[in-house]
Structure 1
Amino acid sequence: MTTEGLDALRERALFEAERIAEALIFASSGPVAESLIAAKLPQGAPVGVVIRRLAESYAHRGVNLVRVGDAWAFRTAADLGFLIRQEETEVKKLSRAGLEVLSTIAYHQPVTRAEIEDVRGVATSKGTLDVLLETGWVRMRGRRRSPGRPVTYGTTQAFLDHFGLEELRDLPGMDELKGAGLLSGRVPSNFQPPVLPANDDLTEDEDPLTQMDLEELGLLTPMGEAED
Structure 2
Amino acid sequence: MEQQERMVEAVLFAAVSPVSIRELGDRLPMGCDPAEAIATLRRRYEGRGVMLERIGDGYAFRTAADLSFLMQAETVEQRKMSRAAIETLAIIAYHQPVTRAEIEEIRGVAVSRGTLDQLIEMEWVRIGRRRMTPGRPATFVVTEAFLDHFGLETARDLPGLSELRAAGLLESRPPADVMGVPLVERDEDDDIGDGDPAEDLFEDE
Q: Which of the numbers 114, 121, 145 marks the counterpart of 1:134?
A: 121
**Structure 2: where are the runs of 5+ without partners?**
187-205
Q: What amino acid is the match of 1:191?
A: P
Higher relative contact order (CA 8 A, sep 6+): 2
May I ask how many residue pairs the two structures share in their alignment? Answer: 181
CA shift, 1:154, in A, is: 0.9
Q: Which of the numbers 117, 125, 141 marks the counterpart of 2:112?
A: 125
The equivalent residue for 1:152 is: 139
Q: Which moved more, 1:164-173 or 1:143-152?
A: 143-152
What does 1:68-79 correspond to in 2, within 5 Å? Answer: 68-79=55-66
Identity %: 51
Q: What amino acid is the match of 1:187?
A: V
Q: Provide the aligned C-alpha RMSD in A.
A: 3.1
Q: Which of the numbers 143, 149, 166 marks the counterpart of 2:130?
A: 143
1:108-155 Cα offsets, whole Å, 9 max, x none, are 011112211222233322221111111011111133233443321111
The equivalent residue for 2:38 is: 51
Contact 1:62–1:77 (CA<8 Å) still a contact in 2? yes
SS of structure 1 residue aligned to 2:67: helix
Contact 2:106–2:181 (CA<8 Å) still a contact in 1? no
Q: Structure 1 residues 143 and 43, CA, compared in 2 at 3 Å: closer, same or farther?
A: closer
1:139-194 Cα offsets, whole Å, 9 max, x none, are 11133233443321111122122222222222221343575759x95438993459
Distance 1:160 1:69 in 2: 7
TM score, norm. by length of structure 2: 0.75
The equivalent residue for 2:178 is: 187
**Structure 1: where are the runs of 5+ without partners?**
1-13, 196-228
**2:69 is equivalent to residue 82 of structure 1:** yes
The equivalent residue for 1:18 is: 5
Q: Which has the larger radius of gyration?
A: 1
Distance 1:174 1:47 in 2: 38
Distance 2:112 2:168 in 1: 23
